[in-house]
Amino acid sequence: MSTVVPPLPYRVVDSRAETGDTRSIELVPAGEGLAPFSPGQFAMIYAFGVGDVPVSVSSLRGGHGGLVHTVRAVGAVSTALYRLRPGDTVGLSGPYGTGWDLGAAAGHDVLVIAGGIGLAPLRPVVHAVLDRRDAYGRLAVLAGARTPADLLYRDEIGSWRDAARAEVTVDRPGPGWRGAVGVVTTLLDHLDLRPGRTRALVCGPEVMMRHTARDLVARGLAPHHVQVSLERNMRCATGHCGHCQLGPLLLCRDGPVVGYDRVAHLLLVREL
């Protein structure tokens, strides 16, 4: 058990544009640091005077050895984080939440499916699998985005192709786009899926995860072999504020990563 404490100051050492409204910021402790994060876990990042938001860690190994978070400017806090530049300081607390169960994926084919900014919490999974390539079977990354300009980590995805299958698709192609068009599940049609040997990790908008998980189950994956990372309003991240409930789950504590078998029925209830 630990006690809820104020966030710790972390310094921004890098800020890199990913898309028009999304940046990745790398943070290192200004003094004392937090406990190590696992892929899929999240931090509460506090922008001075503005507030804090939960953000999953998008890389455990930034260029300066720091934690990387990818933020999309959609609200006041995320916009403040988006505007951070090297030298700025934020408050950081965590690590919070369950994280991806990579142990369960060891020895199996790993199928990573992401929609939009959902690729951010899955990127450390790809890193972890690439780091210990022998410990896993095939690795496939399927990523969808609204438009080509919204695709995250495009250069990096290219580098994954040496050791993995990595496919991208967009909803609305622009001029010059020669890749796939359509929802991310259409990429599954071209994949030589071995359902019994595959462990899937899915993150994206809730409706995308619902369809994807259902599709995977229809293709023969057991529901508990599909992990999804869910999102709800979070104010405290310590299980005390009650905001992140999804039926029996407190997603800051029991999630954000949960087995699809635990939530399939909950995701079908409107406004739960």
Partner 1 sequence: MTLQPVPATDPRPTLAVWKFASCDGCQLTLLDCEDELLGLTERVRIDHFLEMTPAEGADGGRARLEGRGPYDLSLVEGSITTAEDAERIRHVRRVSRYLVTIGACATAGGIQALRNFADVDDFLAAVYARPEYISTLATSTPISAHVPVDFELRGCPIDRGQLLEVVTAHLAGRKPRIPGHSVCFECKRRGTTCVTVAHGTPCLGPVTHAGCGALCPAYGRGCYGCFGPSDKPDLRSMVAQLRRDGMSERDIQRVFRTFNAASPEYAPVPELAAEERRDPPAEGS
Partner 2 sequence: MTADADVNAARPPGPDGLVMGKDGLAALVDVLIRRGFTVVGPTARDGAIVLAELTSADELPYGWGVELEAGRYRLRERSDGAAFAHAAGPQSWKSFLHPSRVREWSADRVEGELVLTADRGTPPRYAFLGVRPCDLRAIAVQDRVLTGGAYRDPGYEGRRSGALLIVVECTEPGATCFCASMGTGPAAGPGHDLVMTEVADARGHRFWVRSGSREGAEILAELPTRPADAETRETARAGVTAAADRMGRSMPEADLRELMAGTLDAPRWDDVAGRCLTCGNCTMVCPTCFCTTTEDVTDLTGDHAERWRLWDSCFDLDFSNLHGGPVRASARSRYRQWMTHKLGTWYDQFGSSGCVGCGRCIVWCPVGIDITEEAAALHDWTRPERPDPEPS
Site for partner 1 in 17-76 (CB under 8 A): 49-51, 75-76
Q: Is 106 in the site for partner 1 (CB under 8 A)?
A: no
The 10 Å CB-count burial string (b at 16+, else e) for 61-91 is: ebeeebbbbbbbbeeebbebbbebeeebebb
Q: Which of 28, 29, 30, 194 binds partner 2 (CB under 8 A)?
A: 30
- Residue 111, amino acid: L
Residue 162's φ and ψ, nearest 5 degrees, are -65, -35
If one asks whether residue 207 binds partner 2 (CB under 8 A), the answer comes out as no
Look at residue 226 and give its three-state secondary structure.
strand
Q: Are 127 and 60 in contact (CB under 8 A)?
A: yes
Q: How far is the CB of 12 from partner 2 (least distance, A)?
A: 11
Residue 80 binds which entry of partner 2, partner 1, none, CB below 5-8 Å type-dependent: partner 1
Q: How far apart are CA 199 and CA 113, in angstroms?
A: 11
Tell whether residue 246 is a contact of partner 1 (CB under 8 A).
Answer: no
* Shortest CB 152 distance to partner 1, Å: 25
Best CA proximity match to 202, nearest among 111, 116, 266, 106: 111
Do 29 and 35 contact (CB within 8 A), yes or no? no
Q: How far is the CB of 52 from partner 1 (least distance, A)?
A: 11
H helix or E strand, kind and range, residue 271: none
Candidates 79, 89, 147, 186; binder of partner 1 (CB under 8 A) is: 79
User: Could you say whether residue 36 binds partner 2 (CB under 8 A)?
Assistant: no
Q: Which amino acid is at 95?
A: P
Which one of partner 2, partner 1, none interacts with residue 30, CB within 5 to 8 A by kind?
partner 2
Binding site for partner 1 (CB under 8 A): 49-51, 75-77, 79-80
Binding site for partner 2 (CB under 8 A): 1-9, 30, 46, 48-52, 74-75, 89-91, 231-233, 235-236, 238-243, 245, 247-250, 253, 269-272
